[in-house]
Amino acid sequence: MSNTKNWPLWEVFIRSKNGLNHKHVGSLHASDSEMALENARDVYTRRQEGISIWVVESKNISASDPKINDEMFDPAADKVYRHPTFYNLPDELKHM
Amino acid sequence: MTTIDLEEQFMKRVAADEKVEPKDWMPEKYRKTLIRQIAQHAHSEVVGMLPEANYISRAPSLRRKAALLAKIQDEGGHGLYLYCAAETLGVERDTLIEELHSGKAKYSSIFNYPTLSWADMGAIGWLVDGAAILNQVPLCKCSYGPYARAMVRVCKEESFHQRQGYEILLTLCNGSADQKQMAQDSLNRWWWPSLMMFGPSDADSTNSEYSMKTKIKRFSNDELRQKFVDATKPQADILGLTIPDPDLKFNEQTRHWEYGEIDWEEFHNVVQGNGVCNKIRLRERNEAWDNGKWVREAATAYAEKREQRKNESKQVA
Amino acid sequence: MNSKKNYILHLADNGLILAQRLGEWCGHGPVLEQDIALTNIALDVLGQARYFYQYAAEVDGQGKEEDFYAYFRDEREFKNFLLIEQPNGDWAHTIMRQFFYDNFMQLVYTSLLSSSDKQIAAIASKAIKEVNYHLKFSSEWVIRMGDGTDESHKRIQDAANNLWEYTGEFFVPTTYETEMASKGIAPNIASLKNDWHTRGNEIFSEATLQVPQATWFQSGGKTGTHTEYLGIMLTDLQYLQRAYPGNSW
């Protein structure tokens, strides 16, 4: 390993057009947030992929642990009453 | 759960075409195989910028110059996406780059051949990118999520590269006798190295089996090579160029083009560092990296100073 | 008519020669992200050059196309700034060259937005967005290097000192510029000098750099008397077109 400190890693999120969410598109290295935004512009929007960019230093993202996916996500599986199709209504009722 | 159980579960998931994501448990061998392959792929993109960069200044029209610059820039971008995919496996980009620069890591041997004429810009786009696309399209479905996603982006961007190269050759082949000769000479030099890009034949490929089993890889080297020859022969006919293989013939039964014996001795020599350009490419990469060291340090130092000033002014307030 | 053609070629040549220099960095940048960033700038200025060459062809009325002006004019006919043809050197020299140029061109394109020539104004309205970004990019790097490490400070200060003598010709009008200014086609470039210095001083001060004090400036680029670098660049640039004349590529 070299003794130079690496530029930190940033995650890049791009809104492709107004009305849509920012979406994670990839990552890059930059020395500060300003450079990260510019690098994101140069790397990830060369083909007009976006009109707005967010960058977040990767170390600031907290991620759920896939090892506890069972307890995190499975309990939602049997709550069928949260979905509209759970309820039986007469066919005459066209829109609800 | 024991490692054996986890591994069994992992193999089942992969066999069922489920994707693996960075924080998921994965066998060490899978991680290592991926890091090696993604890094090699990234190195190939970055080293691959050099032979084409050789002709940016000499591009024979402004339109070609812009297209070539954009194409080489894309390759830098592809290298970047791939290094980032490798980083999700817990290895830093700088570490990978140092392995490339020390000669420890490999990259595609095709880039150890020199570019000697403008037609080579055409041949690289047509043959080298053509071969790369065949390798890369199946990787969009690779079992490792970040690699697959990077490849989707790469393939989307690659689509203009091959067309760009083919158009260069088409223009040369429709041009003067000198130009056509330039194109033929280029095909003569790049044909065999392009076939070698698919790697050793299946019988001799050491890493293939595990990669196939874990769906890092989805077609064998020879399958892809055959696809390439079948796709390329009619394209050469349109150009009016002759593929430099006297044994090339169509097999009516298999419906495939059969090709002659590949010079594996040359292949192994270039892989081992004996190609015309191996040392030149690595020297150039090392110089660029070493010359950039103070630049990278300056940006880090400035960012730290600025952060510090921000904190100080907060304390005062 | 000739003045107008010359003025347009001057703008075009700046773009082409700068793209040629920046293209040398492609594949050799200090880090991938910056390699890509610099190539974006190269593509922007090359694009500007192409618009101007195409317009020069129209004004010239000889039935030529953009490539004729890039590939079949000799060294003495090129009208780019001496600054632009100076070698890349290290990252500091490349950035300082870019900063001096961007700072000037941002002012030029801003005035060209209201050029009495509709086509030039139209090209300027596209170019100004690009140059605004370039100026931001180069300014930030001047500051980063100036206020970075001791080594980067020294290198960027050296670059400023070395390149300073090529900035004077920005503000000394040629006959074609004077004529274009009188017709409202081009700005009176001498009038841009104060703004250029003011903004340059701001960035230099933020970068903790000394503004060079030398008062002797080189000139001649705009009228075709270049440094020795340009001839070699053109040999490279024009080689294929000249070696195989009359062909399409």
Strand partners, C88: none
- Could you tell me the residue ranges of all domains in chain C? 2-243
Q: What is the mean pLDDT of residues B259-278?
A: 95
State pLDDT tens for residues C41-58: 999 999 999 999 999 999
Kindly state whether B62 is in contact with chain C, defined as any CB-CB distance less than 8 angstroms. yes
Residue C38 has a pLDDT of 98
CB contact under 8 A, C37 and A39: yes
Q: Which residues of C touch A (CB under 8 A)?
A: 31, 33-34, 36-37, 40, 136-137, 140, 144
State pLDDT tens for residues B151-169: 999 999 888 999 999 999 9
Contacts of C228 (CB under 8 A, 6+ apart): none
**pLDDT band with cut points at 50, 70 and 90 for residue A1:** very low
State pLDDT tens for residues C139-184: 999 999 999 999 999 999 999 999 999 999 999 999 999 999 999 9
**Residue with more model confidence, C48 or B210:** C48
- Could you give the CA distance from residue A55 to residue A45 in angstroms, rounded to a whole number? 13
Residue B1 has pLDDT above 80, yes or no: no
Residue B208 has a pLDDT of 76
- The ranges of chain C with pLDDT < 70 are 1
CB contact under 8 A, B84 and A28: yes
Contacts of C136 in chain A (CB under 8 A): 38
- Could you give the CA distance from residue C235 to residue C226 in angstroms, rounded to a whole number? 14
Instruction: Report the Cα A65 to chain-centroid distance in Å.
Output: 16
- Could you give the CA distance from residue B68 to residue C20 in angstroms, rounded to a whole number? 12
- Picking from A1, A14, A32 by the largest number of B CB atoms within 10 A of its own CB, the best residue to mutate is A32
Residue C1 has a pLDDT of 63
Contacts of A38 in chain C (CB under 8 A): 37, 136-137, 140
Tell me how far CA of residue B98 lies from CA of B95, B105, B118, B286, C211, in angstroms.
5, 9, 32, 9, 38
Tell me how far CA of residue B36 lies from CA of B82, B86, B103, in angstroms.
11, 9, 14
Residue B317 has a pLDDT of 67
Least Cα distance to A49 among A20, A79, A81 occurs for A20
CATH 3.30.420.130, domain C2-243, yes or no: no
State pLDDT tens for residues B49-96: 999 999 999 999 999 999 999 999 999 999 999 999 999 999 999 999
Residue A3 has pLDDT above 70, yes or no: no
Neighbours of chain C (3+ CB pairs under 8 A): A, B
Contacts of B60 in chain C (CB under 8 A): 71, 240-241, 249
- Global pTM reads 0.95
User: In terms of CA atoms, which chain C residue is nearest residue B168?
Assistant: C249
**pLDDT band with cut points at 50, 70 and 90 for residue B210:** confident
Buried b (16+ CB within 10 A) or exposed e, C214-245: eeeebbebbebebeeebeebbeebbebbeebe
Enumerate domains of chain A plus CATH numbers: 4-64 (3.10.20.520)
State pLDDT tens for residues B104-121: 999 999 999 999 999 999
Tell me how far CA of residue B117 lies from CA of B40, B260, C147, in angstroms.
27, 26, 44
ipTM entry:
0.97
Alpha helices, H only, chain B = 3-15, 28-47, 49-53, 62-87, 93-101, 119-123, 129-139, 145-173, 177-196, 208-213, 221-239, 264-269, 278-291, 293-316
State pLDDT tens for residues A17-55: 999 999 999 999 999 999 999 999 999 999 999 999 999
CB contact under 8 A, A27 and B25: no
Residue C133 has a pLDDT of 98
